[in-house]
């Protein structure tokens, strides 16, 4: 994952800097508990791997509180613009709905982050009008855990 996350352009909109081996080792050790230190949130993280070769190309994460999850997605530069973030996040949403019966999904996205806005739109998310730490809060809600899984929209998310 150090190789995947080494390009500084990945941090342009999300802050921070490319992680070291030491940092990621500690970070993943913390995340492996799958809970926030206070125990009130689930911290769920998946590394995205290419089916064909098993190579890691990015990650998706969900911070779960009650029936909602705040989502984030990162894909390494060489593998971008191939639909990977959209496919991986859609799969994560499906899993969270099926296993945890979650009904609301959100993402905090900088107004300058066009790529992430496109991913959110393709997942059925819309700008909520609320801000989260200076970023737009994008949200999609589903009425029940069983119905209407937010799917990758066939119009590329352009419909508003
Ligand atoms: C945002 C990010 C995860 C997108 O990953 P990705 O695998 O390239 O996304 P997808 O291939 O699923 O693309 C989804 C849409 O975004 C568009 N897109 C991708 N990169 C783009 C870019 N740099 N500028 C504009 N649109 C872009 C794609 O064209 C596609 O839209 P389309 O179907 O209408 O053509 C990736 O750019 C990234 O990791 N960025 C840095 C980290 C980050 O900002 N994470 C999000 C935090 S909220």
* Mutate which of 50, 61, 119, 131 for ligand 1 pocket (most atoms within 8 A of beta carbon): 119
Check if the beta carbon of residue 91 is closer than 8 Å to that of residue 101: no
**Total Cβ atoms within 10 A of residue 20:** 11
The Cα–Cα gap between 126 and 139 comes to 5
9-32: per-residue pLDDT in tens?
999 999 999 999 999 999 999 999
In the chain, domain spans: 8-141
* Mutate which of 4, 58, 115 for ligand 1 pocket (most atoms within 8 A of beta carbon): 115
Could you report how far apart the first and last alpha carbons of the chain are, in Å? 36
Check if the beta carbon of residue 10 is closer than 8 Å to that of residue 74: yes
- Using pLDDT thresholds of 50, 70 and 90, give the confidence band for residue 56: very high
Atom of ligand 1 nearest to the CA of 107: 48
Global model pTM greater than 0.85? yes
81-90: per-residue pLDDT in tens?
999 999 999 9
Q: Over 50: is that where the pLDDT of 64 sits?
A: yes
Class assignment of domain 8-141?
A: alpha beta
pLDDT score recorded for residue 148? 46
């Amino acid at each position: 994952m150090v190789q995947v996350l080494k390009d500084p352009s990945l941090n342009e909109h999300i802050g921070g800097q490319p992680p070291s081996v030491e940092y990621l080792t500690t970070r993943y050790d913390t995340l492996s508990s799958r809970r926030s230190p206070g125990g009130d949130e689930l911290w769920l993280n998946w590394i995205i791997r290419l089916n064909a070769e098993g190579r890691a190309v990015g990650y998706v994460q969900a911070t779960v509180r009650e029936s909602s999850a705040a989502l984030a997605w990162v894909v390494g530069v060489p593998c971008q613009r191939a639909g990977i973030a959209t496919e991986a996040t859609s799969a994560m949403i499906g899993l969270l709905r099926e296993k945890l019966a979650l009904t609301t999904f959100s993402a905090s996205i900088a107004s300058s982050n066009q790529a992430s806005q496109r991913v959110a739109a393709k997942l059925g998310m819309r700008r909520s009008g609320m801000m989260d730490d200076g970023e737009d809060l994008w949200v999609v809600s589903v009425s029940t855990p069983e119905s209407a899984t937010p799917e990758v929209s066939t119009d590329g998310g352009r419909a508003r």
